[in-house]
Amino acid sequence: MRHKQRVRQGKKGAYIGIFGSILLSAVNLSLGIFGNSYALIAESFHTFSDALSSIVVLAGFYVVSKPADEKHPLGHGDAEALAGFVVSILIVLIGFEVGKNSYQRFLQPPTQGPDAIALAGPIISIAGGLIMARLVSKIGRKINSPSLMADSINHTSDAVSSGIVLVGIFFSRTGYPILDPLAGLIVGLFIIKTGFDVGRGNIDMLMGSVPDTGLINQITNLALDVDGVKGVHSLKIHYVGVVANVQMHIEVDKDMFIIDADRLAHKVQAKVVSELDEVVSVLIHVCPFRGEDRA
CATH 1.20.1510.10 fits 3-206, yes or no: yes
pTM: 0.68
Q: What residue type is assigned to position 80 of the chain? A: E
Residues in Cβ contact with 169 at an 8 Å cutoff, skipping those fewer than 6 apart: 35, 37, 39, 40, 113, 114, 118, 119, 122, 180, 183
Q: Are both 3-206 and 213-288 of the same fold? A: no
pLDDT of res. 295: 41
Q: Which CATH number fits domain 213-288: 3.40.50.150, 3.30.70.1350, 3.30.390.30, 3.30.70.3270?
A: 3.30.70.1350
The ranges assigned to domains in the chain are 3-206, 213-288
What is the reported pLDDT for 148? 86
Torsion of CA 294, 246, 5, 143, to 10 degrees: 80
Q: Divide the 295 residues of the chain into consecutive groups of 10 and give the mean pLDDT of each group.
A: 77 94 95 89 85 82 71 67 79 83 79 86 94 94 81 86 87 83 82 81 70 81 92 85 82 91 94 84 90 55
